[in-house]
Amino acid sequence: MSHTVLLVDDEPSLLATLQIIIQSQGFQVLTAASGEAALEILQASHIDDGIPIIISDQRMPGMNGVQLLEQIRQQWPQTIRILLTGDPDPQVVMDAINRGGIFKLLTKPCESAEVMRAVRDAAQHFQAVREHHLLTEELQQANQELKVLSSTLEERVESKTQELMEALYYDSLTGLPSRLLMTDRLELAIKAARRANEMVTVLFLGLEQFSLVNESMGHEAGNGLLRLLAERLQMYVWDGDSVARMYGDKFCLVINNSGTTEKVGELADKILNVVAEPFFINGQAISINGHIGISLFPNDGETPPELFSHAEAAMREVRGEHGSNNYRFYSEELNKLSTSRISLQAEMRRALQNEEFRVFYQPRVNVRLGRVVGAEALIRWQHPERGLVGPDEFLFILEETGLIEPVTEWLLRRVCEKLVSIQEKSEHPVHMAVNISPRQLKRDSFIDIVKGVVRDTGLDLSKSFLEFEITENILLHDMRQVQQLLSGIKDMGISLAIDDFGTGYCSLSYLTQLPIDYLKIDRSFVLKLTETQGAKAVVHAIISMAHSLFLHVIAEGVETHEQLEILQRLGCDEFQGWYFSKPICEKDMLALLSGKTHLVHYLAQVEPFRIDPVDLKDLDNASATRA
Ligand code: C2E
Ligand code: CA
Ligand code: CA
């Protein structure tokens, strides 16, 4: 490409010579006789594709070379500037370099070859700079385009990632979290549990013969069932707990801080019930059973994969077992416990059906009156193989399963019937106490059930006394509700006793706000009476306080004469315990309370109660003479 060279010199001969030399190299040449003229030419030209190289003499009338080049540099920085001088004064050279930004300095007289080389170099340099410049511009342009491209690309990648993540993290059929997300969640749950020293439960749920649904009703129906089940399960879990579809017909629940293993078993049972409820699909009811495997952090594993696979293994074991609807713990130990619990639950239902429950009665004695004033009804289970089983072994199952309600209703009915028949034969009013579990008391239906039983049995509550024993812990619940409930019971003519007093949380001030008639001092206090002086003081305080509130005090678990004497001296009103009698069967109780037999204090009697024709008055006299 040919470039233009502008020659500036006030000496026309030199100008002409240089012009010839430079033109011979294929350059276009413009000439100017002064700096001012040169500026005019530059101004008129289109510098971009016009004049890249300027060669100027230093000494000229008017503007000198350095001044000219300095101005050109400012206005057209891309030009290549060369200074020609006959007198290379160092100052001039410095100025030319610093102010004029020259590419080269030529000294006069200069050889034509030297001029030619300088111009060629300048042209090359100009070309290089220009190319570099263009390249940079291009690069910048390309960069800009790239930026735009990459930002749209980024957006697309992001939305695609989001889509992919969603597909990975959520199950498209049910909308539930996937195994991947569940792994994350379990990981978090484990971390939190580790900090709080808590347990995390993993329940793996499979469906029994789900493939049959698919085969007989089609995949759409199968999918519909899975979706409905997902909804049910989701409604079932609490905030913070998670439910996921792992694959196929396998679901998983992660429960934080699920408490005891009993609670976990209860939960598994409830989930199985949720699964077993019929699904309505295409107007058809489908019933399906589930099976659940359970693993626990930290017992059965420390990582999500471990816990999942152990829960799944447990699930596989229980699958198909008796049509399933069953659960199983991964740990053998827990399994034994839970299977015995399951069979116990089943046995309890059977026991109720087969009328294996029995009511035993423990006589309550008033030494001052010298007679048995009544009895406390205590439940027993007449097991076909194990014999008579005490309530400590099965009461919790009744409470857990809710069977306590029908069982108590049955017991209450039985007690009321007996009370009616004794009352007909007894000359004194008879007291009959029934234990009511707090769980039951809280049910709205409770009062109605009691009313129904009293009505059905024809019990006259103005002549005989029915009492309910409740534990202090009921008082932990909403005070107003408790007051209302207890008042309702009182209004029916039923008395109330606080059972196991001293073992719970009851503050004495509570008692003043409640319609209570009796306080039963717990056996543990009676036991301590003969051991420490402090125990006596505590029991004394309880009795005085109770009396000041017009409450009767009954001591439970009196086993020795010594205990009886102390309690009598402390002002206790009535007594119950092995010293007088162990709980006795219904027949013996009827005989005793209708006055046909009498009670003898007999230590360590064996159930059933031994009857001896010795009157209790003797006992009263005996203890009086000893005291
Ligand atoms: P509780 O109400 O404190 O009943 C007293 C328990 O102490 C009875 O145990 C009785 O047999 C026992 N006992 C009585 N005198 C003595 C004694 O001198 N020494 C000793 N060591 N024990 C004595 P049981 O019958 O095993 O009842 C245990 C608990 O089960 C009862 O404690 C009561 O809380 C509950 N329970 C019993 N029957 C029923 C029921 O029908 N319904 C409800 N909800 N709970 C019941
Ligand atoms: Ca009791
Ligand atoms: Ca008690």
Per-residue pLDDT, 339: 64
Confidence of residue 504 (pLDDT cuts 50, 70, 90): low
Instruction: Specify the ligand 1 atom closest to the Cα of 520.
Output: 3
Interval between CA 500 and ligand 1 midpoint (Å): 10
In sequence order, what are the residues at sequence separation of 6 or more whose Cβ sits closer than 8 angstroms to the Cβ of residue 18?
A: 7, 9, 29, 55, 115
**Looking at this protein, which amino acid is placed at residue 239?**
D
The mean pLDDT value of the chain amounts to 85
Per-residue pLDDT, 488: 93
Confidence of residue 609 (pLDDT cuts 50, 70, 90): very low
Residue 58 has pLDDT above 60, yes or no: yes
From 352, 357, 376, 378, mutation site for ligand 1 pocket: most ligand atoms within 8 A of C-beta: 378
- In Å, how far are 49, 62, 77, 88, 129 from 70, measured between CA atoms? 21, 14, 10, 17, 19
Confidence of residue 240 (pLDDT cuts 50, 70, 90): confident
Residue 294 has pLDDT above 90, yes or no: yes
Specify the higher pLDDT residue, 160 or 560.
560
Residue nearest to atom 17 of ligand 1 (CA): 557
How many beta carbons lie within 10 A of that of residue 379, not counting itself? 22
Residue 607 has pLDDT above 80, yes or no: no
Per-residue pLDDT, 81: 92
Residue 336 has pLDDT above 70, yes or no: no
Interval between CA 423 and ligand 2 midpoint (Å): 22
Per-residue pLDDT, 397: 81
Q: Is the Cβ atom of 363 under 6 angstroms away from ligand 1?
A: no
Average pLDDT (94-101) is 86
**Beta-sheet strands, E only, within 445-593:** 465-471, 495-501, 518-521, 552-555, 574-575
Q: Is the Cβ atom of 331 under 6 angstroms away from ligand 1?
A: no
Residue 166 has pLDDT above 80, yes or no: no
Q: What's the pTM value of the predicted model, to 2 decimals?
A: 0.53
Residue nearest to atom 3 of ligand 1 (CA): 500
Q: Is the Cβ atom of 435 under 6 angstroms away from ligand 1?
A: yes
Q: Tokens representing 337?
A: 């416990």
Per-residue pLDDT, 444: 79
Specify the higher pLDDT residue, 254 or 511.
254
Question: Could you write out the three-class secondary structure of 322-341?
Answer: HHCCEEEECCHHHHHHHHHH
What span, in angstroms and rounded, lies between the C-alpha atoms of 5 and 103?
14
Q: Is the Cβ atom of 300 under 6 angstroms away from ligand 1?
A: no
Per-residue pLDDT, 188: 92
Residue 251 has pLDDT above 90, yes or no: yes
Residue 57 has pLDDT above 90, yes or no: yes
Residue 105 has pLDDT above 50, yes or no: yes
Confidence of residue 377 (pLDDT cuts 50, 70, 90): very high
pLDDT tens figures, 423-470: 888 888 899 999 998 778 877 789 999 999 999 999 999 888 999 999
Over the range 527-553, which residues count as b (16 or more CB within 10 Å of their CB) and which as e? eebeeeeebbeebbebbeebeeeebbb
Per-residue pLDDT, 322: 60
pLDDT tens figures, 523-552: 988 999 988 888 888 888 889 888 988 999
In percent, the amount of the chain with pLDDT more than 70 equals 90
Per-residue pLDDT, 345: 78
Per-residue pLDDT, 357: 96
Interval between CA 581 and ligand 3 midpoint (Å): 15
What span, in angstroms and rounded, lies between the C-alpha atoms of 377 and 362?
7
Residue 606 has pLDDT above 80, yes or no: no
Q: Are 465 and 432 in contact (CB under 8 A)?
A: yes
Q: Is the Cβ atom of 392 under 6 angstroms away from ligand 1?
A: yes
- Using alpha carbons, select from 43, 67, 45, 41 the residue that is nearest to residue 56: 67
Average pLDDT (410-427) is 93
